[in-house]
């Protein structure tokens, strides 16, 4: 039987012949494929110290890719030929956190070992996923520098609760994966951290730029300064974007929202500026909780962070 309008198993989504949406450039990875950007989901948020369904973020951010075109009007350039290989999501263990962290590290390492792409994006999950992810990049590329956009230091002690989303960078430093002097934190916010962790940062050579620093010097000046320091010291640069670095007005779907943070434009322009450097090989986007979001504001901003990373 033929239908006049019905199309079983086919999308009824409107298609403009002149417009390419970003999700149309995504292909599931198969052995031997080559692309421009690799994508993997790390859907784990059981280590969050506040209630979080950030495990649902990879799916929400992927969905948001379908809302935007590949054309940049500011640059008058269409990026429809930039291919994205999706390696899927890492299956987490239902109860064993250590096993899950090992699975995350193994999967990220396996992805970059394919050498299928020049750059890779990891979609968290809470910020705890940065520990295994950055560890995998360090094993592959050598000395690693990290630019962390965040309201928090994430240098909490491990004794009080084990490895959580508040401990990834302390874990990396104490494991010898990351030198404190190679960690640059951008957007550290007032009344969001303990003095003990600010002191830990100082004592280990971590470079922490507060919102007051950004007010005084501007996000572009600070981003340029960070890149200039790192590019002369490390083998690889990794970007870690905690979405709670952004003011709660622009990113309501974060477990730890707060006022006085970056604007959406500040985050996007800073990521874009950093991503231009050829040493930048990977980026994670973390702390998006779709269950707390409003009209997908935070997931859509995360998608735009991806665009600034991919389209340079």
**Whole-number Å distance between alpha carbons of 139 and 297:** 35
Ramachandran bin of 207, using left for φ above 0, alpha for ψ from -120 to 50, beta for the remaining angles: beta
Residue 274, Cβ neighbours under 10 Å: how many? 25
**Whole-number Å distance between alpha carbons of 76 and 72:** 6
Residues 6+ apart with CB under 8 A from 288: 54, 57, 60, 61, 124, 243, 251, 253, 254, 298, 299, 302
**Whole-number Å distance between alpha carbons of 232 and 202:** 21
Residue 181, Cβ neighbours under 10 Å: how many? 14
Tell whether residue 242 is among the known ligand binding residues: yes
CA distances from 66 to 56, 63, 230, 232, 298 (A): 17, 6, 34, 38, 15
Tell whether residue 127 is among the known ligand binding residues: yes
Candidates 190, 187, 192, 201; CA nearest to 243 is 187
C-alpha radius of gyration, the chain, whole number: 19
Q: Where are the alpha helices (DSSP H) in 65-210?
A: 97-113, 130-141, 168-174, 195-203
Q: Please provide the size of the chain in residues.
A: 312
**Whole-number Å distance between alpha carbons of 243 and 180:** 22
Tell whether residue 93 is among the known ligand binding residues: no
Residues 6+ apart with CB under 8 A from 19: 69, 71
Give the residue ranges of the annotated binding site for Mn(2+): 127, 150, 152, 154, 242, 244
Give the residue ranges of the annotated binding site: 127, 150, 152, 154, 242, 244
């Amino acid at each position: 039987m033929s239908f006049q309008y019905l199309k079983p198993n086919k999308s009824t989504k409107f298609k403009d012949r002149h417009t390419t949406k970003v999700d149309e450039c995504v292909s599931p990875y198969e052995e031997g494929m080559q692309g421009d950007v690799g994508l993997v989901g790390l859907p784990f948020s059981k280590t969050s110290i506040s209630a979080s369904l950030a495990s649902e973020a990879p799916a929400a951010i992927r969905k948001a890719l379908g809302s935007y075109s590949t054309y940049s009007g500011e640059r008058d350039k269409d990026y429809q030929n930039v291919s994205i290989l999706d390696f899927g999501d890492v299956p987490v263990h239902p109860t064993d956190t250590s096993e899950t962290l090992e699975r995350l590290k193994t999967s990220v390492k396996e992805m970059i070992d394919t050498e299928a792409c020049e750059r890779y994006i990891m979609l968290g999950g809470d910020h705890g996923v940065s520990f295994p992810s950055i560890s995998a990049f360090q094993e592959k590329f050598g000395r690693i520098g990290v630019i962390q956009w965040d309201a928090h230091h994430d240098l909490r002690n491990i004794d009080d609760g084990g490895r959580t989303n508040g401990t990834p960078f302390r874990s990396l430093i104490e494991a010898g994966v990351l030198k404190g002097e190679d960690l640059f934190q951008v957007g550290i916010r007032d009344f969001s951290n303990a003095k003990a962790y600010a002191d830990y940062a100082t004592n280990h050579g971590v470079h922490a730029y507060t919102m007051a620093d950004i007010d005084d010097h501007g996000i572009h000046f600070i981003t340029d300064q960070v890149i200039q320091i790192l590019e002369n010291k490390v083998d690889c640069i990794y970007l870690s974007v905690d979405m709670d670095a952004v003011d709660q007005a622009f990113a309501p779907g974060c477990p730890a929202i707060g006022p006085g943070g970056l604007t959406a434009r500040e985050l996007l322009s800073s990521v874009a500026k950093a991503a231009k450097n050829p040493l930048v090989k990977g980026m994670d986007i973390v702390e998006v909780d779709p269950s707390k979001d409003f009209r997908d504001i935070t997931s859509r901003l995360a998608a735009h962070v991806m665009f600034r990373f991919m389209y340079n």
